[in-house]
Amino acid sequence: MLGRLRPYMAALWQAPARFLLARGIHPNVMTVLGTVGVVLGAVLFFPHGGIWLFWGVLFITVFVVTDMLDGTMARLGGKSSRLGAFLDSTLDRVADAAIFGTLAWVFIDIDRSTALAALLCLAIGSLVPYARAKAEGIGVAANFGLAERSDRLVISLVATGFYGLGLFPLWVLTAALWILTILAAITVGQRIGAVVAHARRHPEWNARLDDPQPYPHE
């Protein structure tokens, strides 16, 4: 849903992207820096609970911005590469693991339902980009769905931050995480459905495997 705003956000970040490029900073550096910042914010702030959840969200948000900056920098500087795409996708999973994994650990002794929701949000959420990558790897477009990464991050971080400030009761955070889990599951289903539909429309495509591999192939 929020992924539709990416073109507008990219335009917004053009000025800082040009500033960083002018100083010789490579987009891949921003990708790594952003991930390190998110991980540090999650593991250093979140475990303290309370108001520290809010400060952790603010810290993480600063570094999440680099996820938008690196792509803009790569396009403006002509530095787009397969390595950059690999790093961006892989390190996004690392950042998600730090955020949702830490939330699960924080709430395990406070509210098991919240902890489980955070864990499932991480597990099922990781299947969303996986389904897209596997689909596009066999030639089927699957860049759509109800809850992309940006949606999960924004909603979960806002709910966590407001809970840390005492503005949201715990059940709001719990409900947000469960809703995101359900939306992520639906998104995975949508992408699986796209591949199934493509296979039914093109039986000759479905019957051909260019590079047979033993299952499971990773």
Q: Answer yes or no: 92 catalytic.
A: yes
Give the integer Cα–Cα distance in Å for 205 and 218. Answer: 21
Q: Would the CA dihedral through 218, 136, 28, 181 be positive or negative?
A: negative
Instruction: Find out whether the peptide bond into 216 is cis, omega within 30 degrees of 0.
Output: yes
Q: Torsion-angle region of residue 50: left (phi > 0), alpha (psi -120 to 50) or beta?
A: left
Give the integer Cα–Cα distance in Å for 121 and 115. Answer: 10
Say which of 88, 92, 96, 151 is annotated catalytic: 92
**Residue in this structure with the two tokens 């039986």, named with its chain if needed:** 203
- The Cα angle at residue 67 between residues 61 and 69, in degrees rounded to 5: 105
**Residue in this structure with the two tokens 């699957």, named with its chain if needed:** 142
Burial of 110 (0-12, 13-18, 19+ CB in 10 A): exposed
- The residues carrying an active-site annotation are 92
